[in-house]
């Protein structure tokens, strides 16, 4: 029997998940359902990555042990996966993998031992002991080279991670290394021989050029005195395994590598090699390090590594807790049906590219594609079958002697036209699904919705119903419409399991639509005389203004408590409200406010574009900078700002900033401050990040 194994990355157990994390699970769940529907025995893994310094620190901040911290986060994951129908009980994942499981310790220990016994293709020991010297980002759990960090504002400060914008740790200690540099040729051969190994192709090219540029050996352990929370290195407990070494191995330990009990439950031979779904930000780990480890361990390579893009905010920055711009899952869960969120994720993001997530866009799509589109097609079809055919699916056949009559109404008497269209659409839909092109697949499915809608509008069944001679024409239109709905429900099941089942049940079927193979659909499979079920609305319209206001009012509370409870990464908790997302409305732009202000209230604040002319530290103050800022007036303004710990004065000169120009002047340390520079406030310490422009703007321009 054919088998299929799909994995999501395992998520860091330091903080609660957001939309970015949910997304990979939704994609994996969709693919798993798609495979199962075709009778392929499928194993779907998701879970948590629970070791490492980042979790150790998050736990410390929350006053928990690392295991308690992981348990807390896992509790939240389980709650959310259940709420979004992604858990086992809802037909979702088969294992929620945790790297703290004893079977994983056993498996990863065995994996390390195998590598430690191995010679590289160039005849060297695959693992050796050395000394590591360099910068490490706890949030990425990765060492950073010079082009991967930002130089500090002052020489005594550490550099910061370009992704997380948080300070790096200096590491200078004994370490075990994996001799990655000896695997470049074999890796390049792998990419050449298997062009689909990494998808999409553009990502494969990135990986190839990274490897072709030369590989450095990889530090794969930390001294236990620096990082306690992790798997001990076999035969040398003074070292803890590097968290990525431990984490990547989960993909095989979960199905039984290195543990006979686990092997019985899942089956390593049965399911490996698997398909890894990952965000493009962690592709290198999956497409370079992991394959090299597997080569060294003499384990078969994954089937493929599929990289998706990032959900970004309106300014194009990756959605992340550290940046404070996340879409929280409990907000999504409270305000939107699960299938709506699933549909939006798959329809809106062109797979492989970055996508923008906004509540307004989500509501618009729900209302147009789902409520007015699919939902309306379903309810009008079934309601008409109820009204004109006593709730029984009519025959789709038009008898010879009625053909002429039917033709006069403009209805196509040859049902193979519509059948051919839908069959072709199904083929395309499946093809796109095979290529992970979900957005295109859904476009194709909606071309069926549009076609059937048009058929109904053109045929006007409500008029046909008035003429008893046109009963067969009316029946044919309704049959075609109902049959198209059946096809749609089968095709859309992996994306919207609940709604698809609902349509299928309303059509009168009692079985699970998840067991119907879309490849085996054939036109006419909807039996005549089927009694349809109770007709219920599938996707109620969402009141945009009300919902946006309610989200806005609810956001500050949930955001603060969630983030406070489990602060992420080095910057700790985020109480800063998320910035507005793309297509944000006014309601979105003021998250956290239970009541709105008038546009007139906003207009009272005179915000101007300014240019920093000079900037210097204020003597005897660590925090204050004194700046002269040109805001298009006769004289530049003198403004004091508490940013000296974070910005070098010289680097600010010439920078465009936003100034609150009508703030009452006040004296600070004997100097008058005639305005305020606008900045985001990040993390518990309120690290300021000055607002600026990416386009050229004249000094003095007003912000409205």
Residues contacting 493, CB < 8 A, separation 6+: 33, 37, 500, 501, 513, 514, 516
Interaction between residue 31 and ligand MSP (CB under 6 A): no
Active site residue 671: no
The single residue among 138, 247, 305, 477 that binds ligand MSP, judged by CB under 6 A, is 247
84 binds ligand MSP (CB under 6 A): no
Check binding of 11 to ligand MSP (CB under 6 A): yes
For residues 516 and 489, the answer to whether their CB atoms sit within 8 Å is no
**Residues 498-504: contacts with CB under 8 Å, at least 24 apart:** 498/85, 498/337, 498/338, 498/339, 499/339, 499/370, 499/374, 499/538, 499/539, 502/536, 502/538, 503/378, 503/538
Q: Is 52 in the site for ligand MSP (CB under 6 A)?
A: no
If binding is defined by CB under 6 A, does position 287 make contact with ligand MSP? no
Question: Known catalytic residue: 131?
Answer: no
Minimum separation from the CB atom of position 13 to ligand MSP (A): 9
Distance of CA 87 to the CA centre of its chain: 17
* Catalytic position from the list 51, 161, 276, 389: 161
Total residues in contact with ligand MSP, by rule CB under 6 A: 20
Cβ closest to ligand MSP, residue 106 vs residue 246: 246
CB of 422 to ligand MSP, least distance (A): 33
**Cα 173 from chain centroid (whole Å):** 36
Phi, psi of 137 (to 5 degrees): -100, 120
Judging by beta carbons within 10 Å of its beta carbon (0-12, 13-18, 19+), is residue 61 exposed, middle or buried?
Answer: middle
20 binds ligand MSP (CB under 6 A): yes
Q: Does 274 bind ligand MSP (CB under 6 A)?
A: no
Stretch that binds ligand MSP, among 183-191, 274-282, 381-389, 541-549 (CB under 6 A): 274-282
Cross-strand partners of 312: 318, 356
- What do you get for the CA distance between the two ends of the chain, in Å? 63
321 is catalytic: yes
Comparison of 49 and 562: residue with beta carbon closer to ligand MSP? 49
Contact 535, 386 (CB under 8 A): yes
Closer Cβ to ligand MSP, 13 or 513, answer by number: 13
The residue from 35, 51, 104, 140 that is catalytic is 140
Give the interface segment with ligand MSP, choosing from 21-29, 263-271, 474-482, 624-632 (CB under 6 A). Answer: 21-29
317 in Cβ contact with 469 (< 8 Å): no
Q: Which is nearer to ligand MSP, 76 or 311 (CB)?
A: 311
* Minimum separation from the CB atom of position 19 to ligand MSP (A): 7
Q: Which of 321, 432, 559, 656 is catalytic?
A: 321
Beta strands in 274-344 (DSSP E): 275-279, 304-308, 311-312
The DSSP code sequence of 66-90 is HHHHHHHHHHHHHHHHHHTT-SGGG
Residue 308 appears among annotated catalytic residues: no
Query: Any contact of residue 23 with ligand MSP (CB under 6 A)?
Result: yes
The 10 Å Cβ neighbour count of residue 137 is 24
Q: Does 424 qualify as catalytic in the annotation?
A: no
Minimal CB distance residue for ligand MSP: 279
Q: How far apart are CA 619 and CA 174, in angstroms?
A: 43
Q: Among 60, 92, 87, which Cα is nearest to 75's?
A: 87
Asked if omega into 200 is within 30° of 0 (cis), the reply is: yes
User: Is position 625 an interface residue for ligand MSP (rule: CB under 6 A)?
Assistant: no
Task: Choose, by CB under 6 A, the member of 45, 190, 282, 658 that binds ligand MSP.
Answer: 282
Instruction: Show the binding pattern over residues 596-615: x = contacts ligand MSP (CB under 6 A), - = does not.
Output: --------------------
**Is 164 noted as a catalytic residue in this protein?**
yes
Identify which of residues 9 and 107 has a Cβ nearer to ligand MSP in the complex. Answer: 9
Kindly indicate which of the ranges 8-16, 148-156, 328-336, 615-623 contains the residues binding ligand MSP, using the contact rule CB under 6 A: 8-16
Torsion of the alpha carbons at 373, 376, 379 and 382, rounded to the nearest 10: -60
Q: Which of 248, 341, 657, 677 binds ligand MSP (CB under 6 A)?
A: 248
Determine which residue in the list 16, 24, 331, 682 makes contact with ligand MSP, applying CB under 6 A.
Answer: 24
Given the rule CB under 6 A, which residues bind ligand MSP? 9-12, 20-21, 23-24, 49, 247-248, 278-279, 281-282, 310-311, 318-320
Question: Hey, which residues are catalytic here?
Answer: 18, 21, 137, 140, 161, 164, 318, 321
């Amino acid at each position: 029997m054919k088998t299929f194994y799909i994995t999501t990355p395992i998520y860091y157990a330091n903080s609660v998940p957001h939309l970015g994390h949910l997304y990979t699970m939704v994609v994996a769940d969709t693919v798993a359902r798609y495979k199962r529907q075709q009778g392929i025995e499928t194993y779907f893994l998701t879970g948590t990555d629970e070791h490492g310094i980042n979790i150790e620190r998050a736990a410390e901040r929350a006053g928990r042990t690392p295991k308690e911290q992981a348990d807390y986060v896992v509790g939240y994951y389980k709650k959310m996966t259940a709420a979004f129908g992604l858990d086992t009980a809802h037909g979702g994942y088969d294992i929620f993998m945790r790297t703290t499981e004893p079977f994983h310790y056993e498996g990863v220990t065995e994996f390390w031992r195998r590598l430690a016994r191995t010679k590289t293709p160039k005849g060297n020991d695959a693992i050796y002991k050395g000394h590591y010297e360099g910068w490490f980002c706890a949030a990425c759990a990765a060492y950073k080279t010079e082009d991967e960090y930002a130089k500090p504002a002052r020489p005594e400060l550490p550099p910061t991670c370009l992704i997380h914008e948080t300070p790096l740790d200096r590491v200078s200690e004994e370490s075990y290394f994996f001799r990655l540099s000896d695997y470049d040729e074999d890796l390049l051969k792998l990419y050449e021989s298997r062009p689909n190994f990494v998808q999409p192709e553009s990502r494969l090219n990135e990986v190839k050029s990274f490897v072709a540029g030369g590989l450095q050996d990889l530090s794969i352990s930390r001294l236990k005195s620096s990082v306690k929370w992790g798997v001990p290195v076999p035969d040398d407990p003074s070292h803890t395994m590097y968290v990525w070494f431990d984490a990547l191995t989960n993909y095989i330990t979960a199905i039984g590598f290195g543990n006979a009990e686990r092997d019985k439950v899942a089956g390593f031979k049965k399911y490996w090699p698997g398909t890894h779904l990952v965000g493009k930000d962690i592709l290198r780990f999956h497409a370079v390090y992991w394959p090299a480890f597997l080569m060294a361990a003499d384990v078969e390579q994954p089937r493929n590594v599929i990289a998706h893009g990032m959900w970004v905010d309106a300014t194009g920055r990756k959605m992340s807790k550290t940046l404070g711009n996340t879409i929280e899952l409990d907000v999504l869960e409270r305000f939107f049906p699960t299938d709506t969120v699933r549909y939006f994720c798959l329809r809106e993001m062109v797979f492989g590219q970055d996508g923008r997530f906004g509540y307004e866009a989500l509501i618009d799509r729900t209302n147009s594609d789902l409520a007015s589109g699919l939902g309306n097609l379903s309810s009008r079809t079934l309601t008409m079958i109820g009204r004109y055919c006593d709730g029984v699916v009519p025959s789709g056949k038009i008898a010879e002697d009625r053909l002429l009559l039917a033709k006069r109404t403009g209805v196509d008497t040859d049902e193979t036209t519509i059948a051919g269209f839908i069959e072709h659409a199904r083929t395309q839909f499946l093809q796109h699904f095979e290529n992970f092109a979900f957005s295109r697949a859904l476009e194709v499915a909606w071309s069926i919705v549009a076609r059937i809608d048009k058929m109904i509008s053109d045929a006007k069944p409500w008029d046909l119903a008035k003429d008893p001679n046109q009963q067969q024409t009316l029946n044919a239109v309704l049959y075609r419409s109902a049959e198209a709905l059946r096809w749609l429900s089968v095709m859309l099941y992996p994306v919207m399991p609940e709604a698809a089942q609902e349509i299928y049940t309303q059509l009168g079927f009692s079985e699970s639509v998840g067991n119907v193979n879309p490849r085996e659909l054939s036109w006419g499979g909807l039996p005549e005389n089927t009694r349809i079920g109770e007709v219920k609305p599938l996707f109620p319209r969402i009141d945009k203004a009300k919902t946006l206001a309610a989200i806005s009012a609810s956001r500050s509370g949930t955001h603060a408590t969630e983030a406070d409870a489990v602060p992420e990464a080095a910057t700790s908790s985020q109480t800063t409200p998320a910035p507005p997302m793309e297509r944000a409305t006014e309601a979105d732009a003021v998250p956290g406010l239970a009541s709105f202000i008038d546009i007139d209230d906003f207009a009272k604040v005179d915000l101007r574009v300014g240019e920093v002319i000079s900037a210097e530290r204020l003597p005897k103050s660590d925090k204050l900078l004194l700046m002269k800022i040109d805001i298009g007036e006769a004289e530049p303004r003198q403004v004091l700002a508490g940013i000296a710990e974070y910005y070098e004065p010289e680097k600010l000169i010439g920078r465009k900033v936003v100034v609150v120009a009508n703030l009452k002047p006040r004296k600070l340390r004997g100097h008058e401050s005639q305005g305020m520079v606008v900045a985001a406030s990040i993390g518990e310490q309120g690290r300021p990040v000055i607002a600026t422009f990416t386009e050229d703007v004249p000094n003095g321009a007003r912000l409205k």
